[in-house]
A and B are shown apart, each in its own frame.
Chain A
């Protein structure tokens, strides 16, 4: 699905990622954990094609294609989805219009017919039911006036509509109370398939109680310093990042 080799990236000339290696297979859930400033969000941004980053070395191959060569929109059309840490408010654009335009851009890329308003509505209503989204969501402007929890759920809802091959959740748990966290996690789990991969980026272990990963990686100072099974997350929860920072084995 996604193979990252020796990825280096910097922001304003400052190196943030210093050689990331990662291999995610279809259907796998990987978690990347790390303290603040370790490069988690940079990794998400680089993978999703944000302009602010310079990739200085390395590669990322997504489904056999060079991900780093693609524009953000091409990545999305190829099946990569980033759930934002801070979803953006877009006044004046309804979720309905936004999602239909988005889905049709993806469908067109896949060589599928674009959906008209009626067909889209039918599909989207079904997904809303699965994720228990409020009825008036479609009419409301994208994320405008949404609570933190609503915004994160809206990200997962978009994911449900776009049906990506790989979803990257960038600190989706930040700022959520336990109920909202559970709602988001349930949404993600409902979307898990044997082919769809998920990369969960998080500071805390608690989200991983609900979205159980196959592998956990610890990111520190721009490198993955430790990888292991899901139990690694529990160790981090118990001991924190200090042993890693101190260069000690947990």
Chain B
């Protein structure tokens, strides 16, 4: 398995004119203009600096100064998913992407219920792709995630190579989870792009895996757009276990129509520089969102979690619980924004952020940010930062449990508070196993 960076002439992000014509869907004029617009936006906005309020504590210079290339062909012949941390026995269809490119060899799409489409974005945008799939992509891609000032999302839109396209028709229900598996085996740039469109009354469960071989210094810039129509139920889990030297920047943008119910759990274990954004917009009334996250840092890892809950419609509820466990000289950042727009009366928004510092060298910058323009709302937020409780440690020790084991048990209990809320049992079990380690 290659673990060193391939030689590159220059950063892919500076070679748009040369690379873009080879990217998925370029032959379609609307994709060309989508990519061109995104690239123009990236150039206009530029990469964030520490002067940008949203990036005060996260310095992306080490990342943008590095020359990354995009992979050109999938190398999956000898790849073993289990060795990279994918729980092979887990039920459900899987789309596997190796270094950002689809791997038909490793992907496995079982029989899906009527009205459920599980495929890759590159397929949908290929010359011989289905008209329906292309039309669906055209209708949604880039309409939700591509905010004006989001440089990395613009970079993804300009350069995306592949990702999952999941379309769940009205009233369709799929029980088994659909896995979007992104494995990294080379120190290249990847641009995973996922589009999930869930129809009225439909139900789906999606698990994103971002895995990397140890020691890789790859750069993943991932964007996922989820559109949940009226009364749909969407359960999303993202497990990020990149190499501890990897760069991982991601934006998950969710749009909820009336009475939709969306749950997401982000579990961030890997990466050297990680910025994970989760953005949820309430576009219809009586929708509900649960946005949970857990990040575990050791060594010199930097975990930046940025969430934006946009209550743009009345009578919606959001529940947010983020927990961080930071050891070594790792750094954590949590910025949780909640907007309640003028018309979003009867909003019920709750945000909790808890951080456990396991060492003196670990640091956290945590900032809740509530901007409320409606007057009849319920919004609460709370943040705690602390160490392991010495009384609890002593209590365990007084029962014969060694110091390290006691600390491990208590740390697990803290983290498991998030993991135990994941509804998919096999994923929960897998994570419990990972976190116990």
Residues of A within 8 A of B (CB): 48-51, 71-73, 75-77, 82, 84, 87-88, 90-93, 97-99, 101-103, 105-106, 109, 141-142, 158, 162
Interface residues on B, range: 20 to 34
Question: Which one, A50, A88, A162, contacts B392 given CB within 8 A?
Answer: A88
How far is B416's CA from A51's CA once the two chains are assembled, in angstroms? 28
How far is B417's CA from A19's CA once the two chains are assembled, in angstroms? 47
Knowing A101-B401, A102-B399, A105-B405 are in contact, say whether A72-B413 is a contact too (CB < 8 A). Answer: no
Knowing A91-B413, A92-B414, A93-B409 are in contact, say whether A105-B392 is a contact too (CB < 8 A). Answer: no
Instruction: Give B282 Cβ to nearest chain A Cβ, in Å.
Output: 31
Instruction: Tell me which of B392, B399, B410, B414 has the highest count of chain A C-beta atoms within 10 A of its own C-beta.
Output: B399
A87:B395 contact, CB within 8 angstroms = yes
Which residues of A have CB within 8 Å of B389? 88
Q: Which residue of B lies closest to A104 (CB)?
A: B400
Knowing A93-B409, A105-B405 are in contact, say whether A51-B399 is a contact too (CB < 8 A). Answer: no
Which residues of B have CB within 8 Å of A92? 412-414, 416-417
Which residues of A have CB within 8 Å of B377? none
Q: List 28 A-B contacts (CB under 8 A).
A: A49-B398, A50-B394, A72-B398, A73-B398, A73-B399, A73-B402, A73-B403, A76-B397, A82-B398, A84-B395, A87-B395, A88-B389, A88-B395, A90-B395, A90-B396, A90-B413, A91-B413, A91-B417, A93-B410, A93-B413, A98-B399, A101-B401, A102-B396, A102-B400, A103-B400, A105-B405, A109-B400, A162-B399
User: Is B83 part of the binding interface, using a Cβ–Cβ cutoff of 8 Å?
Assistant: no
Question: Which one, A49, A88, A90, A101, contacts B405 given CB within 8 A?
Answer: A101
Taken residue by residue from 385 to 396, chain B's Cβ proximity to chain A (1 for < 8 Å, 0 otherwise) reads as: 000011110111
Instruction: Give A86 Cβ to nearest chain B Cβ, in Å.
Output: 9
A76:B398 contact, CB within 8 angstroms = yes
Q: Which residue of A lies closest to B389 (CB)?
A: A88
B375-431: which have CB < 8 Å to A?
A: 389-392, 394-403, 405-406, 409-410, 412-414, 416-417
A73:B392 contact, CB within 8 angstroms = no
B413:A105 contact, CB within 8 angstroms = no
Query: Dominant SS at the A interface?
Result: helix
B403:A71 contact, CB within 8 angstroms = yes
How far is B232's CA from A162's CA once the two chains are assembled, in angstroms? 51
Which residues of A have CB within 8 Å of B409? 93, 97-98, 101
Smallest CB-CB A-B distances: 5 pairs = A92-B413, A76-B400, A88-B395, A102-B399, A105-B400
In the complex, besides A49-B398, A72-B394, A76-B398, 6 extra interface pairs with C-beta distance below 8 angstroms are A73-B403, A73-B406, A92-B416, A103-B400, A106-B400, A162-B399
Residues of B within 8 A of A (CB): 389-392, 394-403, 405-406, 409-410, 412-414, 416-417
Instruction: Tell me which of B389, B398, B401, B406 has the highest count of chain A C-beta atoms within 10 A of its own C-beta.
Output: B398
Instruction: Tell me which of B390, B396, B405 has the highest count of chain A C-beta atoms within 10 A of its own C-beta.
Output: B396
How far is B401's CA from A87's CA once the two chains are assembled, in angstroms? 16
Which residues of A have CB within 8 Å of B396? 90, 98, 102
Question: Which one, B400, B402, B410, B417, contacts A90 given CB within 8 A?
Answer: B410
How far is B405's CA from A106's CA once the two chains are assembled, in angstroms? 13
How far is B409's CA from A141's CA once the two chains are assembled, in angstroms? 12
Which residues of B have CB within 8 Å of A102? 396, 399-401
Which residues of B have CB within 8 Å of A75? 398
A51:B394 contact, CB within 8 angstroms = yes
Instruction: Give A101 Cβ to nearest chain B Cβ, in Å.
Output: 6
How far is B399's CA from A49's CA once the two chains are assembled, in angstroms? 11
Which residues of A have CB within 8 Å of B402? 73, 105
Q: Which residue of A lies closest to B390 (CB)?
A: A51
Instruction: Give A122 Cβ to nearest chain B Cβ, in Å.
Output: 20
Which residues of B have CB within 8 Å of A97? 409
Instruction: Give B164 Cβ to nearest chain A Cβ, in Å.
Output: 34
Which residues of B have CB within 8 Å of A90? 392, 395-396, 410, 413
Q: Which residue of B lies closest to A108 (CB)?
A: B400
Which residues of B have CB within 8 Å of A103? 400
How far is B413's CA from A90's CA once the two chains are assembled, in angstroms? 8
